[in-house]
Amino acid sequence: MSRRTSNQLRGCNDFQRALHMSRRQMLQVGALGALGLGLGGLEAQLAAAAATPTKRTAKACIFLFMWGGPSQLETFDMKPDAPDEVRGDFKPISTKVPGTQICEHFTRLAQWTDKLAIIRSLTHNDPAHLSSGHATLTGQLAPVVKSDADPPSSKDSPHMGSLISKFRPGDAGMPSFVAMPWKALHPAAPGGEAPGQHGGWLGPAYDGMLLNGDLNDPNWRPQGLGLPADMGLDRLESRVALLKTLDSQRADLHQSLAGAAFSDHQTRAIEMVGSAKVRNAFDLTQESDATRERYGRNIHGQCVLMARRLVEHGVPLVSVNWHNDGKNFWDTHGNNFNRMKDELIPPADMALAALLQDLEERGMLDETLVAWVGEFGRNPKINKAAAGREHWPFCYSGLLAGGGIAPGAVYGESDKHAAYPVSNPVTPQDYATTIMHAMGVDTSATLLDRENRPHHVCSGRVLQELLIG
């Protein structure tokens, strides 16, 4: 670590657990979940104990997944002294933190770097979108690594949001894990949808809630939270009562809990539909025009604004996946510089800066962890024929902010071409483990899957140097 980084992080101490659970207790939690019984009774008590908040525990996390792999050289690790075939077209600019420079097109974020920790040494060896996406979203290696051919399966590790659902269930009818505006998918990948975006071996009860579509569309409404025009709440309640009666009468026809007609999912859906608080949380029209403009009147900006609304209303983890823009997202094999300058960086810059400002002004930043990262970076050597950069997992950048993260820090260092880390390498597992730790989860915990096989919740190390004591 550089002397400057060490000075910035001076005063950090280890984030200690206030309460430790035994392996036996954690296995009990997993066994109950494997039966699909939800977070009730003993399981709820144990899960709550596993995540008992301490002074520095984040209450929520907003995970901004830059699907496709942003170039480190065009974002947060510029190399202005590198040769032309590495350096590219963009110039670095100074930021709020003396000595820290980022890309000139992140004009808004440059004023908020004193709230950020920039990691410049993320690294792994998997160049495939799907399997490295799994590692990024779950903090665990995919069942099949280095593969773009293997779609989601029940063998996947749970998304971090699914794990948080296990340990930190939402309050007052709110979901515990929400993702938007789609399940990340790559049309050039034979496997299609990236694995690791659901409950995985925890089971479908932990899949989370998906908000599909363009949240900037004035006609957009969250699926499943509205009632038909001819159905009021009284009529809804009467139908629920009837369904429960019918279910109880035919319960003897079902031979397993998994076959129960009136499921936990249905119960939660009914609670959400009938809750004015829940419907209000998902209503972007409650925000002023000025606020919506500040985030950006585009899909990404409105998703990030929705994420702020949801954590404000008690959702522990919200994942915003970079949307389907019809142009391969941040996967800039061709036309890298024009796409970054005109289409990718501006909405990302606007939304992230607005989010940090909004959380700060609302007094929420200290208790809300913000993550910004892709599944890998881009090759330092420019593909001149296509003016693009190919996949490069060996060195890339990511951000953390709020939620107990040391502000204004730069962690890790890359070589002169941003090709490999030269100090403090960070794996996707380390990145995810640090998030889970900051959220108050015991990262040494073990849970059982639905077949009673034990799994470690996390497999990386906690980046203690980035945590405020």
Q: What is the DSSP string of 176-243?
A: SEEEES---B-TTSTT-BPSSSS-GGG-GGGS-EE--S-TTSTT---TTS---TT--HHHHHHHHHHH
Which residues are CB-contacts of 61 (< 8 A; sequence separation ≥ 6)?
160, 164, 311, 316, 317, 318, 368, 369, 370, 371, 403, 435, 438, 439
pLDDT recorded at residue 437: 97
Judge whether 374 and 328 are in contact, CB under 8 Å: no
Would you give the distance in Å from CA 210 to the centre of its chain? 13
User: What is the domain class of 3-218+314-466 according to CATH?
Assistant: alpha beta
Beta strands in 331-424 (DSSP E): 368-373, 377-378, 391-392, 396-401, 409-411, 413-414, 421-423
Which position has the higher pLDDT, 97 or 173? 97
pLDDT recorded at residue 169: 84
pLDDT at 151 over 90: yes
pLDDT recorded at residue 265: 52
pLDDT at 420 over 70: yes
pLDDT at 299 over 80: yes
Mean pLDDT value of segment 381-390: 97
DSSP codes, 15-83: ---S----HHHHHHHHHHHHTT--S-HHHHHHHHHHT---TT--SEEEEEE-TT---GGGTT---TTS-
Please classify residue 468 by burial: count the beta carbons closer than 10 Å to its beta carbon, then call 0-12 exposed, 13-18 middle and 19+ buried: middle
Instruction: Tally the C-alpha atoms within 13 A of residue 233's C-alpha that lie toward its C-beta.
Output: 7
**Selection from 52, 35, 33 nearest residue 43 by Cα:** 33
Q: Mean of the per-residue pLDDT values for the chain?
A: 84
pLDDT recorded at residue 247: 53
Judge whether 194 and 184 are in contact, CB under 8 Å: yes
pLDDT at 29 over 80: no
Rounded (10°) angle between helices 160-167 and 428-438: 30
Which position has the higher pLDDT, 45 or 156? 156
Q: How many other CB atoms are there within 10 angstroms of residue 249's CB atom?
A: 9
Distance from the first to the final alpha carbon of the chain: 19
Residues 35, 37, 39, 44: is their CA dihedral positive or negative?
negative
Q: How many other CB atoms are there within 10 angstroms of residue 287's CB atom?
A: 18
Which residue has tokens 């050039």?
188
- At 224, the pLDDT band (50, 70, 90 cuts) reads low
Of 76-80, 167-171, 236-240, 318-322, least confident by mean pLDDT is 236-240
- At 275, the pLDDT band (50, 70, 90 cuts) reads confident
pLDDT recorded at residue 260: 39
Please classify residue 274 by burial: count the beta carbons closer than 10 Å to its beta carbon, then call 0-12 exposed, 13-18 middle and 19+ buried: middle
In this predicted model, what pLDDT tens digit does every residue of 96-115 receive, in sequence order?
Answer: 999 999 999 999 999 999 99
Which residue has tokens 């144990």?
46
Mean pLDDT value of segment 446-452: 94
Please classify residue 366 by burial: count the beta carbons closer than 10 Å to its beta carbon, then call 0-12 exposed, 13-18 middle and 19+ buried: middle
Judge whether 147 and 128 are in contact, CB under 8 Å: yes
Judge whether 395 and 122 are in contact, CB under 8 Å: yes
pLDDT recorded at residue 268: 58
- At 273, the pLDDT band (50, 70, 90 cuts) reads low
DSSP codes, 258-323: GG-SS-HHHHHHHHHHT-HHHHHHT-GGGS-HHHHHHH-SSHHHHHHHHHHHHHHTT-SEEEEEPP
Q: What b/e string do you get for 387-399 counting C-beta neighbours within 10 Å, with b at 16 or more? A: bbbbbbbbbbbbb
Cα–Cα distance for residue pair 170/154, rounded to 1 Å: 24
- At 70, the pLDDT band (50, 70, 90 cuts) reads very high
Mean pLDDT value of segment 320-342: 97
